[in-house]
Amino acid sequence: GVGAARAGNLTFMVGGVEQEFDAAKELLICMGSNVVYCGEVGTGQAAKICNNMLLAISMIGTAEAMNLGIRF
């Protein structure tokens, strides 16, 4: 989020040619604390989608538990 960006704590999940990743990594480290090479082109996006889905599932579960607790 915005707070992590301001603090320089972003995580970059990167796909592409490994030599190009190595060249860009130094720049990405300036903007984030975690830079992860995920493999070929598109794998960084796939990892990000999986991460977002897991976060969404967790948030939905928390909201449903709160709703159930309030109703009881």
Element (H, E) at 12: strand 10-15
Report how far residue 58's alpha carbon sits from residue 1's, in angstroms, rounded to the nearest whole number.
17
Q: Pseudo-torsion of CA 45, 63, 58, 42, nearest 10°?
A: -10
Q: Could you list the active site residues?
A: 48
